[in-house]
Amino acid sequence: MSITTEAELAGMKKASEAVALTLKEMRKFAKPGMSTKELDDYGGKILNDLGAKSAPYLTYGFPGWTCISVDNEFCHGIPSETRILKEGDLINIDVSAELDGFWSDNGGSFVIGSDVNEHQKLVEASRQILQKAINKIKGGVRISDIGFLIETEAKKRGYKVIKNLTGHGVGRSLHEAPHEIANYRDRFNVTRFKKNSVVAIETFISTTSTYAETLQDGWTMVGNKGGFMAQHEHTIVVTEGKPIILTEMNEIWN
């Protein structure tokens, strides 16, 4: 969507604060020995208490309030009573929701407990690259140039990017134009970021894979060559200068 009134900006801020607070609290709540279903139910209650509705559930009938992916699962992981978190697991939580007609999206990867499996370096790469990318976004910047920045920064650190997972427009629904904000230079994409538009910018930084494939459950995605992936995501408003980071209070950069 494009922000045209103060009321629209206020609505987007309110929806964004709901998803940001939910992600922040879920990150604090997650611990070894807990099932991903318990963690999801906790997040679902926060969303409900804030008057927000789960976007993946509303839009796609997703079997959970949030997407929780663990270790080799890259994204869209289904919360489960049998998936128990362990010390050192790499976990990704993606929280998106609708509130009063406005939709917002955010996510982050982190390590459960101590970093016994040495995933923190990958997590840090994803966080730092998202920050660099967002700081370069303003009206008129080519979307493909931001993709080039993300892939270049990933390669510098010895990582790859997932080419079929992208950021996207958001605001009046979960996925809007621009539909593909890729993590690499897509030379066929000549579109530019537009001032006042709302977009969800996300990194997909991986150890070995370059494409994500869907498992038989119809939701969970894993890498075509295995390995691990870290993702971080903020919903922002594009301006003529520094973007407004609507989901800043999720504290994924802290």
76 is in an annotated binding site: yes
Q: Are strands 212-214 and 221-223 parallel, antiparallel or unpaired?
A: antiparallel
CA distance 253 to 191: 28
175 is in an annotated binding site: yes
CA distance 123 to 206: 10
CA distance 23 to 175: 19
Number of Cα atoms under 13 Å in the Cβ half of residue 179: 1
234 is in an annotated binding site: no
pLDDT of residue 121: 98
As a whole number of angstroms, the longest Cα–Cα distance in the chain is: 49
Q: Are 68 and 91 in contact (CB under 8 A)?
A: yes
Other Cβ atoms within 10 Å of 205 Cβ, number: 29
Q: In what order do the strands lie in the sheet with 212-214?
A: 73-75, 221-223, 212-214
pLDDT of residue 184: 98
**Phi/psi of residue 153, each to 5°?**
-65, -35
pLDDT of residue 115: 98
Rounded mean pLDDT for each run of 10 residues along the chain, 254 residues in total: 97 98 98 98 98 97 98 98 98 98 98 98 98 98 98 98 98 95 96 98 98 98 98 98 98 95
Nearest alpha-carbon partner for 206 in 163, 164, 167, 159: 159
176 is in an annotated binding site: no
40 is in an annotated binding site: no
Beta bridge pairs of residue 97: 54, 104
Cis peptide before 243 (omega within 30 of 0): no
Q: Domain locations in the chain?
A: 6-250
pLDDT of residue 123: 98
pTM: 0.97
CA distance 15 to 53: 10
Strand, coil or helix: 95: strand
119 is in an annotated binding site: no
Strand, coil or helix: 24: helix
Tokens matching residue 148: 């080039």
168 is in an annotated binding site: yes
The CATH code of domain 6-250 reads 3.90.230.10
